[in-house]
Amino acid sequence: MNLQDAYNKLNTLNENDEQYLILLQNIEQAFENVIKSQPSNINFLLKRNEFRVKYAQKMSIRRPRILVGEINNDVYPNFHTIELLLVADIVSISSVNHMCDRIDRINYNNLREGMPEIISRLPEGYKPDFF
């Protein structure tokens, strides 16, 4: 089963299914193996990041979690965060509604919203270690 098929199957399983956690860990390890062989593949870095952010509380490999400010406002990832994607799970914020359909990207209004509102919209189980 390839990585995409495994991910699709995971989305059909109930969290209480005994296969769920095994499949989740297999996908996590598969992403690590792909990144080791292709560390400059930005698409895989982003897919792994989305996966790890979405299932943050279930990950067996612990990595730093970082909430990144507007250094990625217009472009995500950029030269500030590409290297971070290799070693950390990132959620970035943006005041520009660009790429905000991603689980690892939060759009906010910088005139009306502050950190409490942004924190309240983080994906379930994702608690940043660094801001």
Each residue of 42-92: pLDDT tens digit?
Answer: 999 999 999 999 999 999 999 999 999 888 888 889 988 999 999 999 999
Residue 1 predicted with pLDDT over 80: no
Residue 98 has a pLDDT of 63
The backbone torsions φ and ψ at residue 28, rounded to the nearest 5 degrees and listed phi first, read: -55, -45
Q: What is the pLDDT of residue 86?
A: 96
pTM for the structure as a whole:
0.91
Residues 46, 61, 59, 92: what is their CA dihedral angle, to the nearest 10 degrees? -40
Averaged pLDDT of the chain? 91
Count Cα neighbours of 65 within 13 Å in the Cβ-side half-sphere.
19
Strands annotated E in the chain: 65-68, 89-94, 105-107
